Structure 1
């Protein structure tokens, strides 16, 4: 049985994992960089160890140092959170090699689903609908142009190993495709060590909807319904909600069944998310799979009453899921607003000294945070500093709680996207559930603090 978990991550997700571990009477080990010495999660853990300098390559991506600390501390498991090493098959394999339980799927499955090209092949084999596109990496600009003519513009040019919108670009003609091909491949090579590119048809007016799944080591798998994640900037999510205000019960059932069948087909275990594009006729197409816990997992927890981190640990322990699909029900509506240290107009990161940090909490309000007042937000990591999650009996009730909470939120010393969030949740299109992926570009004017 797992008795001590090292959290190979930082910020709010590290704090989130530590809280569940405490409830399960499991000891925790935090690792931190020099920039994070005063971070709240460091004090929350039972033990804390300095990884190294602030740069991620010397700290949170330093596999050898993390494994050294795991051995020194006596940790028998590692939870990778999200980002950093969470979808690194090599890291998972090294954990397996030294007898440390990696809280996630097997290294081989991580690697298969980490390649968007291989993931598309796996989903096609499992009869899950995929977005029309290429089945292999594109070898040249000339080949890309010829394929694009067959698929038809607009086209999504994507990095096979990409994530977070990196190495992704919409192109509308041959000239744009030719210009984007080499620059995107180079960027993907720099970020992911893999410049392989592929093409997908851009689904116009699409919704970005994902299905949360849990699968144990005994062949059981369930889904926890969907999350709507369509409101994005730079292909990265800003607001997420569950359930989706758009899809029908029939589509929900079909997507859930497709997701659970797919994870069984590829031998997936632990928590994971299958992301789909859904068009206006409710046709859905597999986009990618995240082989880890998601940033937005709290909205699913709020409507189902389940603790996904607890489920991850129990699955890693070899336990049965202990819950049947028909026992999972939707209770009300939940919305998550990601609060970023960034300019609300340009979306550029805005690090600095946080002098005031006041987000009210109360009934139906959940705050996951990485910061406090009198705190330095550094430029070394993702600019997300908090997640504000609200729950209501209805979507309208949840929106009203979110509006009131954002209106009372005061963050000073740095720029944040709070003005943008206020603009979104008060917009009539959002309130009526018209939340397609082009929402911000279509509806939101530049906002000022």
Structure 2
């Protein structure tokens, strides 16, 4: 057993202390629980910072930086993050099941990832080990916490929360460092708290299909090299959310963008390389690119699932915002990836001829491709959603064209000065979502 695996196992055992928190919070007064619930983890943090500075226990928990500093800062940070979530559980509305599931998910997920790495030292396999172990531990933690406090939990919600937390944890671990586990733990806990507060009614068949489809399309994206590992994890996470929080129609829109947009990066890729406009990593899109194009859609599907109960806004408003933002992402991607291989582009603000790849440059071929992308998304929306008729599909196309145009305008004016490409993509999809939502209100689809 390697040192890394032993250390991960020791952290997993510390994480299991989370099981002591729900009974403390359930059987004592609120004032006493405020002190006692975080107590086990605060004690661990104190020992790590002020007592254990050498010997076998120190060597068991020490990361390379800890040995240099002579303090178990990694263990202390992990314990303090768990203590903070424990405090949120007893003083606020963070469910005890979510608290226990979060801590166990990260602690045992790390162990699973390191165990797989000893057998196959490959990032995809290690990530799969983290996600699987985290999912199982997060699910078991939620069930155990419910039993300890005498409540019940429904397995579809348990599975959805555990899978969402495991995917978010895998994504953050892929882009951060091991010493950032406290940030990862708190991020998972806050996200699952948000999901747990939504008025969700999840069918068992839906969550099972969501998990299977999300992971299938994620694997295909990675195998076809249309997404990097972080990009693939981000895509799987977003697909899971769209199916469970929205429905399969939302998923089809999103996966169409991922599939067609990803393949468009391969279109005449060698020629794009010669022009200096090709996506890096052989066209495999990273997490930043995926999130920039999909973050507005994620907020929209969250708004849909919370409406009208929590937002007071008609749910259909978020449907049009989602479809418009995805249409914009598709339009912008196709206009850039296809239009970029044609000569004589013109700057959108002045119409003067510029070099291919210039930010804000457009070609008529790219504009036609972008329009076709928006029409494709609108056609799928027309077939997938009963609330979208021919006029509604036109609104989706309108949102896509607005987003594509805003992207070019921002590229010609502020990209490289105030915003990078990901920021431009985000604001373009945001403009598209707002434009589609307002158009839906103006056309009478949504009454506010």
The TM-score, its normalising length taken from structure 2, stands at 0.26
The structure whose residues are more often helix, as a share, is 2
Over alpha carbons, which structure has the higher Rg? Answer: 2
For CA contacts below 8 A with separation 6 or more, give which structure has more relative contact order. 1
The structure whose residues are more often strand, as a share, is 1
